[in-house]
Amino acid sequence: DMYQNHRAIGEAIKSYPREELFLTTKLGMEELLPAQVDGAVPRFLKELGTDYIDLLLIHWPNPDVNLADTLEAMVKWKERGEVKAIGVSNFVRSHLESLA
């Protein structure tokens, strides 16, 4: 999302069978509140022109956001089937331990 290339990627992949692709995107630091996740995922799907995202990541931890709440919002999208897997990037051990 931060690279603003969802639409370009959606255009580039539209001629490929979706099941042959593994599509990953990330939530930026500024969109980690649950309401922001709930706004971002449908937008990502629309921009990418797909029914689901294979992997949705938190790009960077945000110390001002309760990341357990963020993960809970992401799990909701996973349970709906619009996100197949969730994860994190750029986290260190202490970030992960704070989620336990």
Catalytic residue positions? 3
Beta strands in the chain (DSSP E): 24-27, 53-58, 83-88
**Inter-residue contact 93 to 78 (CB < 8 Å):** no
List the strands of the sheet with 24-27, edge to edge: 24-27, 53-58, 83-88
Enumerate residues 6+ apart whose C-beta is below 8 A from 96. Answer: 88
